[in-house]
Structure formats: structure tokens, C-alpha cells
Structure 1
Amino acid sequence: MASKSDETVSYIKNEEFTAAKNKVVGVIREKSGIGTLGEKTVHAILKNMYEPDDNYQEVAIEGYVADICNNDGIIEIQTANFNKLRQKLAVFLNLYPVTVVYPIPYTKWLSWIDPQTGETGKRRKAPKKWNAYYAFYELYKIKDFLKNPNLKLRIVLMDIEEYRLLNGWNETRKRGSTRYDRIPLGIREETVIEQPEDYLQFVPYELDSLEGGFDSAAFAKAAHIDVKTARQVLNILYYVGAVRRTGKKRQFVYL
């Protein structure tokens, strides 16, 4: 179901991603259509990309189950709801290095499924573009753990095909609809955070030239994000020590 725009995109981790996708989806299942796929396809593919050996997947540790536990430590694939990670992190970080992998759409194509007929309509490209800054909404939920030296983060930007059921409550049946599945097409970018200094990559360099510091509005403009997201980002950057306050109200500067 690839389009010309898909074929011209340069993806990273192509071999590892393709092998994981083939393992999870399978040639037969792909031919059978979207209805045979599981509810958490993105999660399954990333789990098999970061650790192809099933022996190191779904490992029981201190009453919890880690997605991956191998010689590098624990890897947790978290597609949303970072609140659910808090109890695991409180235990895992005392035992092993932990890497949290968070996939975010870079570009998303939407396809609508009629639940009555099973027919899938022509897919359309969503107008919104995502970037790594949108991870901070979830990172705020595990803020207390972000300075732990055992915690590492990987923000994975992916092209994704999303299938939704036409079962919403408005006349188009799209508002309030159910997400059926998401199928990753390839990885565009991977942002790695292994130490507090790595958060500096989120501070646009042009802000350093602003006399007297910068506020959330200036940050939002430089980062090409909305002000609400900029406030969340600055909250975390200040907490981990990537920026400091100037003494003026809501003004920040580089360390």
C-alpha cells in the first residue's frame, strides 16, 4: 500500500526495522489485510527491532514484566500513558540500566474502515507534522526519574499508517472514532538522551543570541512548536539543568 512519497523517503535502521516488521506482520498476514493485525503492532515491531531474540523478551523482574531484558539492561517500549511506567521505573532503575523507547508519528496517513462492510477507504495524509518536542508531554509524567543516571530515552519518529473505524458519534462518523491499529512504515529519526547534557539538543541555538534570555513564546517560535508545548519543554529542561532562569519572570538562558 506504499505510495510514491513513501518510496522516496530515506529511512534509518532499514534492515533492522524490515526484519522486525516481517517477523511481526508476516507476508501471509500482510496479504490477508489489516483485519488480521494485532492492536499493538507498533509496540511489537519496535520490541523485535531492538531485540530480535524472543528469549530476552517479556522477562519477569520483581513482579513486573519488562519488554526486553538483555546484556544492555532493560528496554521498555511505551507508545503512550507514561504514568503506567512509574511503578516499573521505581523498581527497574534500582536494578539495571533502563531505556525507554517512545515512538511518535513523523508523518501519518489515515485510512477509515467501515465497520459494517469491512471496506477500507482511500488513505489520506494527515496535515499535522510531529517532532521530538511532542515527547515532553509524556516525559513530564516521569519527570522525577529523568535525572536518574540509569535512565536513557529514545524518541523514535516514524511514518505511520493509522486505521480508524467509522464509528464516531457525529454525522461523518469520524469524531470520537476508535483507532483500530497503527502500522509503522519506517523510521525517520531517533533522538537519544543518555545524560542531562543531551537535553541541550532541544534548545534552538538562535536563542543564545537573545539579550536578556528568552521566554516560552520565543522558544516556541524558534522550535516551531506551540506555546503550550514550549512551556512543557522548558519545565523539563529547567529541571534537568539544560537551561536556567535569569531572575526575570519566565525568562531562561542557556547554562
Structure 2
Amino acid sequence: MRYLFISDLHLEAKRPDITRAFLQCLRDQARGVDELYILGDFFEVWLGDDAIDELGRQVTDALAALSDQGVRVYVMHGNRDFLLGRAFCRQAKCTLLRDPSIVDLNGEPVLLMHGDSLCTDDLDYMRMRKWLRNPLSRFTLRNLPLRTRQKIGRKLRDESQSRTRLKAADITDVNLGEVAQVMRNEGVRTLIHGHTHRPARHELVIDGEPSQRIVLGDWDQAGWYLLVDDEGYHLESFALNTTDSSGTL
């Protein structure tokens, strides 16, 4: 079987180049795969399924069309789109995936995460994440007037960008001890995640066993995807104005 993984597209109306690249990716890279996994921060911001706009409809239509072709589509919450809900999934004909989740990829159990929960050195963010991911907080946010949600969304995004610029790079990256502990607890040798915008394949040794952590790239200067097939794991990038591969790790 063939599996495709993407994350951190941060789709928004002011970046139509990323939307075009995503739609092209569905036509090209997703052709012939059995399953597509979107591991969070699919949208730059998602204010609730009742606030779906033209971009949202375009994306849900494209995912639904892919599903109709026989590709199973899975979406995981990120820190920007944690309000994605059942209505979105119905329209996109996709399944909402719990973070973290273990899936079987050609006989190997593989751990999938968005990745933000691994950044335990960023104490400010972890406190904010705990509040935002609380079911009561999400219920409250979903039921606020749309205009209020828009204001809160802009405020959270601006504050997040400001804080990230001021923090050292190692603070906003994953904690390697946390990575090892999570993989040990889940009994896996492969972890796939996004969030950090640091695409790479990291060879690890956990409890004497060879392991790996694969980080998906963000779609800004280039698009990124991970293809998993019988031959292994292929992390690739491509220019946003074309689907020609421009690099492989």
C-alpha cells in the first residue's frame, strides 16, 4: 500500500499559491495512494465549521472528490485549526484522527502526531495548549459569536508569532527526551509529525533499537510531503509554482 502525509499548509486566502499547490498535490502526488494523512495546521486559522468560507468549500470539495476516488482521508488537529469538527469532516468525506494515533503502515506500527505536544521546553505555549485543547474551552469558543471568534483568532495568531520570534530555536523545537519517552510508551520505532517547520529524517536509538523521527515540512517557500510505500519513507519537497520534485531527504 501507499500512504501520503502532509502538514502545516496553513491555508489562507492571502496565499493562493499554497492552495493551488495543494490542489495540484491531490491530482499528482495523491494519485494512486491508498490513504492521505493531514497532520494538523491544515488551515492558518479555523474558527469553526459554521464559519466555512470560499476557501474552505474549495478544500472540502477537493478532499471529497479524492475520497470518491477511493482514497481514505484522515485529518488531525493542529494548534491553528483545533476547531475543525464533524461538519467539516462530513463535507470533506474525511475522518478526524486523534492526536496521537498509531496506524499500521505496511505491517509497521507508526505513531502520528501534530508535534506541538512534544515541545515541552516552551512552557508558555504548553500552558496555552492545555487551555485551548480543553473540551470545555473548545465548546465555549465554538459557541461564541463569529465576530468574537475572529477577534480572538487574530489576537492568538499575532501573539503566537510575536512570542515565537523572541524565543530561541531550541525552545520551540521538540524535546528529545519527550520524543524518546513517547515512542517508548507507545511501543513504536517510527514517529511522524509536523508543527516545528524543520523537515528532516532523524535516526534514533531507543532502548538499543534503531528508530526514526520524520518531521514534515511547512508549505511556505516550498511544499512538502512524505510518501510511504513498499520501498520505505520518502520525504520530498517541490516548488509551490510547480509539482516537480526539488529535493529528497
* TM-score, normalised with respect to structure 1: 0.28
Larger radius of gyration: 1
Q: Which has the higher contact order (CA 8 A, sep 6+)?
A: 2
* TM-score, normalised with respect to structure 2: 0.28
